[in-house]
Amino acid sequence: MATVSYQQATRFYPGADAPAVDGLDIDIADGEFLVLVGPSGCGKSTSLRMLAGLEDVDEGTIRIGDRDVTGLAPGKRDVAMVFQSYALYPHMSVAENMGFALEMAKVPKDERIRRVREAARILDLESYLDRKPKALSGGQRQRVAMGRAIVREPQAFLMDEPLSNLDAKLRVSTRSQIAELQRRLGVTTVYVTHDQVEAMTMGDRVAVLKDGVLQQCDTPLGLYRRPANAFVAGFIGSPAMNIREFTVTDGHARIGELDVPLSRATHTQLAREDSDRVLLGFRPESVELVGPTEGYPVAVRLVEELGADTYLYGSVIGAAELNGPDIVARIAVDHTPSIGDTVHLRVRPGQEHAFSPVTGVRLE
């Protein structure tokens, strides 16, 4: 177990215009569960592969504990990796799969068998040790891949979308099992996913990447409450945050018939950028239904009833700025309106987010 740190780690793919990973700086504490998340092509898998040694580091360094591993071969880094396809060795039994790394490390046979047994017990794989991967179900194969990592007792676990080949129900239960197992073993873990729910539920901290650049690295709640920029705000949370651009006049953003006041700090920052526009956003769950004289009148276009929640899709009447995609609001189930109704909505005070229209950076 050890700390892991990326220091200005950069990877250029030959022939590409921009780096796949650009000056990545993350310090991961001993025993921490860090999730790398982002849309496809954001460099999250490349970052993980750089740590594993499967991808070259063109600039910067990567350290595991106090060792500089930047130029080290994958096998010498003492990290274990779980692949998206599990990458089990098809001609070896479950026990041989799990023991292969120990065999390569010339661990004595007794010790090897003991550790494989132990890992199989933890993962409930004891009765499958003699089977070939082909004779296992998807969930069992996933557990063998985990077992292969566990038996090594490595400095760090690297997981590259290990749940994406499971069906939805199994994914949810395996998700909590992995998180629980990681906490029990206390091994530093870097976990890659494109699924923001996985990222939010599993990680001690979550690093959001876009186009090879780290956008924000914070606890799940930190990301949710104070997204560092408009991209993170739109990426974290489901359904996504409603974000629109508005004109600023006399210190207010003009939305339909109403003026929304902006804080002084927001003002100063906008003035510094010489911008007369602002990006405002609110989460669907920050909205409440109000009486007909308050808030904004919204024409309901679509209602999604999920049982626990109701999502309402509609457009604000008389606000040309809000044309385009519908705004989304979560409302209480017992007040579900019908399609075509007009309801009045209000954003709870203090739950709106402001971003610079030029840089996308959060404004306080």
Partner 1 sequence: MSTSLAAAPAATSRRRAPEPPKRTAAERWKRRGPLLPALLITILLTQLPLLGTLYYSLRSQNLLRPETNGFAGLSNYATVLGDEYFRAAVVNTLVLTASTVVLSMALGIAFAVLLDKKFLGRGVVRTLLITPFLVMPAAAALLWKHAMFNPLFGMLNWLLSVFGVDKIDWVSQFPMPSIVLMLTWQWTPFMMLIVLAGLQSQSTEILEAARVDGAGAWATFRRITLPHLRRFIELAILLGSIFVVQTFDPIFLITQGGPGQATTNLPFLIYQTTFRAFEVGEAAAAGVIVVVGTIVIATFALRVISSLFQEET
Under the rule (CB under 8 A), what is the footprint of partner 1?
52-54, 73-76, 79-81, 83-85, 87-92, 100-101, 104-105, 132, 134, 148, 152, 158
Nearest approach, Cβ of 352 to partner 1 (angstroms)?
44
Q: Smaller CB distance to partner 1: residue 87 or 299?
A: 87
CB of 58 to partner 1, least distance (A): 19
Distance in Å, CB of 309 to partner 1, minimum: 25
Consecutive H or E run containing 101: helix 94-104
Verify cis geometry, omega within 30 degrees of 0, for the bond prior to 227: no
Residue 54 or 113 with smaller CB distance to partner 1: 54
Calpha distance 251→249 (Å, rounded)? 6
CB nearer to partner 1: give 31 or 74: 74
Q: Give the three-state DSSP class for 56.
A: coil
Task: Give CA 25 to chain center in angstroms.
Answer: 17
CB of 191 to partner 1, least distance (A): 16
Which residues, 6+ apart, have CB-to-CB distance to 67 below 8 Å?
A: none
Nearest to partner 1 of 64, 80 (CB atom): 80
First to last CA, the chain: 39
Q: How far is the CB of 88 from partner 1 (least distance, A)?
A: 8
Q: Indicate the SS3 state at residue 70.
A: coil
d(Cα 153, Cα 144) in Å, to the nearest integer? 15
Tokens encoding 306: 């999920």
